[in-house]
Amino acid sequence: MLTIPDLNRLKVFYVVYANRSIVRAANVLNVTRSAVSQSLKALEKEVHAPLFLRNSKKVQPTPAAETLFKLMEPFLQELESALQNIETGRKHPTGHLRIGAPLDFGSDYLTNVIGKFRQAHPTVSYELILGVPIKQLELLLEGKLDIAFIDNGDVFSKSYPISVETIQREDFVLVSNAKFYAENIKGDHSLSRLQRLPIVDYLPHAPVTRMWFKHHFGKSITDLNVSYSAESVRAVLNAVSLGMGVGVIPSHLIGAEANRLKIISTDKKNLVNQIALALPLAKKLTLTEKTFVSFLKAQK
């Protein structure tokens, strides 16, 4: 087993070496000269080598002392810097913030917020991990994320030990390419017609589309024909625009594609997607996390 010399004795050694004097070291450490001398003798026994050549006025480091000091100096400098950062972190946001988010929300909106936050708090660094809610929640509960933003937070909070707070709401609508609509739907928005269509979704098992059907028709659909999947709203939107099938997208993204897309509606209100802040139950936010979350909420 690795034997490490007594840390208090190493501290005494460091101060003696830096001052080249037992008397000055005793004054710095606020102990007696005898205590310093005894500590050095005990340390020399631990390292099995003399550390200083002593005379009445000063001490001369031995080669063993030079080696020990070279090992200690960078460690103590890093330790001092770390302690300063800890003290700073108690008063100001600092450190590394690990955030999970949906691909498009994270790439666009959240990255813009981070950029603004960094201008006010330049000592904070960020790690942004993008993906679907299940991936984010697994990383969050494993302690690999500090905070996460997920779609449909109200749904996932029922099956994961998390607390959620809605950050944004957006309407989800089922859409198709106008030509695809004319050839395959022809105004028939019935369940029997829609569930046979090729589906474009964010995952191969089409969880968002299944959620849309459940919301509008009150039935769980198991046999959907998924023609294309991609973990990106933009990719799903592009695939639908190209006529690859029908897909569920946020309504606010239709704007530029309004001439090419057709919304497939029912007599039910739109499905609402909630982007929520997710945290493990009983988690206490650090100053940096709390300040960032408050800043994000203020952007609304």
Supply φ then ψ for residue 281, to 5 degrees. -55, 140
Q: What are the structural domains of the chain?
A: 7-89 (1.10.10.10), 95-168+275-297 (3.40.190.10), 171-271 (3.40.190.10)
Q: Outline where the chain has alpha helix (H).
A: 7-19, 22-29, 33-47, 63-89, 103-105, 111-120, 133-141, 153-156, 178-184, 191-194, 207-217, 233-241, 287-297
Average pLDDT on 89-105 reads 83
Which range has the worst mean pLDDT, 8-22, 43-57, 141-155, 176-190?
Answer: 43-57
CA nearest neighbour of 168 among 273, 269, 270:
273
Mean pLDDT of 241-263: 86
User: What is the rounded average pLDDT for all residues in the chain?
Assistant: 88
Q: Which residues contact 56 (CB under 8 A, 6 or more apart)?
A: none
Which tokens go with 157? 């909070």
Locate tokens 């960078």: which residue? Answer: 74
Q: Are 201 and 229 in contact (CB under 8 A)?
A: yes
**Residues 102 and 275 sit within 8 Å (Cβ to Cβ):** yes
Rg (CA), the chain: 31
DSSP labels for 248-263? Answer: EEEGGG-GGGTTTEEE
Contact call for residues 173 and 251 (beta carbons, < 8 A): yes
Number of CB atoms found within 10 A of residue 191's CB: 14
Could you report the per-residue pLDDT of 28-72, keeping only the tens digit for each?
Answer: 889 999 999 999 999 999 889 999 987 766 788 999 989 998 988
Say what the pLDDT of residue 284 is: 87
